[in-house]
Amino acid sequence: MSKSPLDATVVVTVSYNSSMQLTGFLESVKLSEEDDLIVIVADNMSADLDSTSQIAQSHGARLLALPENRGYGGAINAAVASLPASFEYVLISNPDVELGLGTVTALLAELDGDPHVGAVGPRVLNADGSTYPSGRQLPSLRNGVGHALFARIWPDNPWSRSYRAESQGSDVRRPVGWLSGACLLVRRTAFEELNGFDEGFFMYFEDVDLGYRMGKAGWTNVYTPAASVVHTGAHSTSTESGKMVRAHHDSAYRYLEKKYSASYLAPVRWALKLGLTVRARVLARTGRLG
C-alpha cells in the first residue's frame, strides 16, 4: 500500500510568547483534514513556555523548546532538521493562522502534480475576509523603491500594484516570485537544497529571500487559491515599535544587498542603504511600517 502524501507531511509553527494564538491554530489543523497531521511547535525561548507546552501537549503537538531565540527562519530550520527523512513535505505557518478545510490536501496536489514546484502558498485571508496579497513579485529597484516611497500615501500606485501582482487577481493560480511565510508548503528536498531559511534575517524578508533563492535554483513558487487560510493576527495593530521598523529596513537592505551583489553595483547599494536608513528613521518616529 502506497504512502499518502499527508502521511509524509508535517506542520511546523513558531511560538514566541504566542500561547494566546496557539489553541486556535492547532484546532484548525485538527479540523482541516480527515487524517491527523503531525505538528511541531518550535518555541523561541518564550516567557510563556509553560503555557505553550501545556497547549501543545493537550492537542497532541510536539514541542521543540529552543535554548535561544533563533528568529522565525532559524526556528523553522531547527524543526525541519529534527525530522526523520520520511517527511517529504513541510507546512510552515504562523501560530496566528487558521487553516481552512482541505488546505494541506490542496497544497499537496500542487507539489504532487509538478516536480519542479518547490513551494506553494494558499490564499491568505485577513480577519475581515479581505485577501492579503500573499503571492508577489520579487522586489526590484523599480517596484521596490516605488512601493516603499508611495505605499502609505498612494496605496493604489502602479509600483505597489506591480509588486503585489494585483493585475492577475487573487482567484488565479500562478507562479510567483515569493510566498508569504505566514503559511506555505515546501518540498523538503528543495528547502534543504537551499539550506532552509537564511538565518541572517532574524525577522522580515526571510520568506522573500527563500522565494528568490528557490527561483535561482530552478524551483517554482506557486500561489493557489484552491487552498485558503485566515491570518487572524494580520494587521492586528496599526503601529510597530521603532525597533521593529529598523529591523524591517535592515532586512530589506540585506535582501537587496544579496540580490544586487555585483561589484559594479556598489553605488546602487550605497544609495539603497542611505535611502532605507532615512526612511527607517522617519517611520520610527510614528512607529508605522507602512
CB atoms within 10 A of CB 282: 12
CB crowding 151-165: b at 16 or more within 10 Å, else e: beeeeebebbbbbbb
CB atoms within 10 A of CB 245: 23
Q: What is the pLDDT of residues 41-83, one digit of tens each?
A: 999 999 999 999 999 999 999 999 999 999 999 999 999 999 9
Cell numbers 532552509 label which residue?
196
Q: What is the pLDDT of residues 248-268, one digit of tens each?
A: 788 888 888 888 888 887 887
Q: Is the pTM here over 0.75, yes or no? A: yes
